[in-house]
């Protein structure tokens, strides 16, 4: 069953990637991230409010968001900070690179997750998983060759460095999720609500302190329907 959930997630993320590419076309990155994550938070807001107004009903629906301690806010805040950095870098790369280069590099996240699972959680991969690991490495090398044919040199390209860093941080977030859900045993919806809340807060600060003072240099923000889709599908994929 979990395999099918993973495939559905991949489907949502693929649509999300296409919409991300469209959303940053001639658009400033920080406002796009603020609005898209703000939409995700708004979609979850009724669940958060409902948990206070009618907790029994929300528990029946398995969408109850309980009150959490300050320590829990810190743990979820760390995840929010990691993914905020990852998304900023990923959107920057999408703005300047073809999606056919960005997406395969982004999908190499299991390379970092695989290493982390071995080193941090002491997991023991099977022979088939080791084979998959080797295929990821070979695919990355092959894509660097293809990129050169498209005029993209991987070695000294800032956008390539950005998407590799974004992929690494995304993998770190995935490993951190295991800690949040299996070790801390947090409720899924609780983590989602506070995660998108804090990401929206972080993006608001970036827009106010970084984007607005340099608006002419960083470009204007224009609304596009793809930004709404990003907020919706990242929420569904994450859940």
224 close to 27: Cβ distance less than 8 angstroms: yes
Q: Summarize pLDDT for 22-50 with one digit per residue, the tens.
A: 999 889 999 999 999 999 999 999 999 99
When divided into structural domains, the chain yields a total of 1
Helix axis angle, 70-96 to 29-53, nearest 10°: 150
Token output for 180: 């949040």
- pLDDT tens per residue across span 132-174: 888 877 877 777 677 666 666 677 788 889 999 999 999 999 8
Residue 233: φ, ψ to 5°: -75, -30
93 is a domain residue: yes
**Does residue 175 lie within any of the structural domains?**
yes
Domain that holds residue 110: 70-186
Alpha-carbon Rg for the chain in angstroms: 19
Q: Per residue in 12-21, pLDDT tens?
A: 888 898 899 9
User: Measured in Å, how far apart are the chain's first and last C-alpha atoms?
Assistant: 15
Is 151 contained in some domain? yes
Is pLDDT of 118 > 80? yes
62 within domain boundaries: no
The CA-based angle 200-171-231, given to 5 degrees, is: 30
Name residues whose C-beta falls within 8 Å of residue 215's C-beta, 6 or more positions apart in sequence: 28
- Per DSSP, the three-state class of 156 is coil
Q: 2 lies in a domain?
A: no
Residue 177 located in a structural domain:
yes
């Amino acid at each position: 069953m979990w395999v099918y959930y993973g495939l559905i997630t991949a489907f949502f993320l693929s649509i999300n990637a296409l919409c991300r590419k469209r959303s940053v076309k001639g658009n400033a990155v920080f406002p796009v991230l603020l609005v898209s994550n703000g939409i995700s938070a708004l979609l979850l807001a009724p669940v958060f409010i409902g948990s206070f107004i009618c907790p029994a009903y929300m528990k029946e629906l398995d969408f109850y968001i309980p009150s959490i301690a300050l320590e829990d806010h810190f743990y979820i805040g760390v995840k929010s900070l990691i993914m905020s950095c990852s998304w900023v870098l990923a959107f920057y790369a999408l703005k300047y690179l073809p999606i056919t280069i960005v997406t395969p590099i982004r999908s190499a996240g299991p390379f970092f997750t695989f290493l982390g699972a071995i080193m941090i959680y002491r997991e023991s991969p099977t022979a088939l998983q080791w084979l998959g690991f080797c295929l990821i490495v070979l695919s990355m090398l092959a894509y660097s060759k293809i990129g050169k044919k498209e005029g993209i040199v991987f070695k000294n390209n800032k956008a390539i460095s950005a998407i590799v860093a974004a992929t690494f941080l995304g993998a770190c977030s995935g490993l951190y999720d295991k800690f949040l859900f299996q070790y801390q045993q947090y409720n899924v919806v609780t983590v989602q609500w506070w995660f998108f809340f804090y990401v929206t807060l972080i993006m608001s600060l970036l827009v106010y302190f970084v984007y607005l003072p340099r608006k002419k240099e960083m470009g204007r923000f224009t609304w596009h329907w793809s930004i709404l889709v990003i907020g919706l599908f990242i929420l569904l994929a994450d859940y």
